[in-house]
Amino acid sequence: MAIPEYADGFLLVEVPLGDGILDMKWIVDTVARARPNTRFTLEMMTRSPLKIPCLTGRYWVTFDGINGRNLARTLAMVRANPPRRPLPDVGALSPEARLQLEIDNAVKCIVCSRDRLGLAA
């Protein structure tokens, strides 16, 4: 996941393995140690970022009992983890360009899984 900041909060978008904020090597190694027979699967969504307007009052209507400490922690994480690459505006791409981006993202995930995470195809 990538989580760049924007005026009303932050954006949330799936990015290829190794490009996001999660320490995938640690996650995979931890799961594999706890459950050695785990079979990992890949789901790579290619879409435009979702807006998370957490700095607007309307956003918080559905959250009862969440305080400012949680928001501060989340925004600190967002600010400490800027995207490694520019995020594409998938909606602005032609169908052909979207398909190519999907293929490119899947290939990046497979290569990262094999080369950096030690997972076999």
pLDDT 10s digits, 36-47: 999 999 888 888
Residue 121: inside a domain: no
Residue 9: inside a domain: yes
Residues of the chain with pLDDT under 70: 121
Give the H or E element holding residue 33: helix 24-34
Contacts of 53 (CB under 8 A, 6+ apart): 8, 9, 59
Could you tell me which of 49, 48, 59, 47 has the C-alpha nearest to residue 8?
59
Is beta strand 5-6 parallel, antiparallel or unpaired with respect to 9-12?
A: antiparallel
Residue 72: inside a domain: yes
Residue 22: inside a domain: yes
Contacts of 4 (CB under 8 A, 6+ apart): 10, 11, 49, 78, 82, 83, 87
Ramachandran angles phi, psi of 26, nearest 5°: -65, -45
Rounded to whole angstroms, the Cα distance separating 3 from 79 reads: 9
Question: Both tokens of residue 119?
Answer: 């997972």
Number of domains in the chain: 1
pLDDT at 84: 85
Residue 120: inside a domain: no
pLDDT at 99: 94
Residue 19: inside a domain: yes
Rounded to whole angstroms, the Cα distance separating 107 from 40 reads: 16
Residue 18 belongs to what domain range?
Answer: 5-115
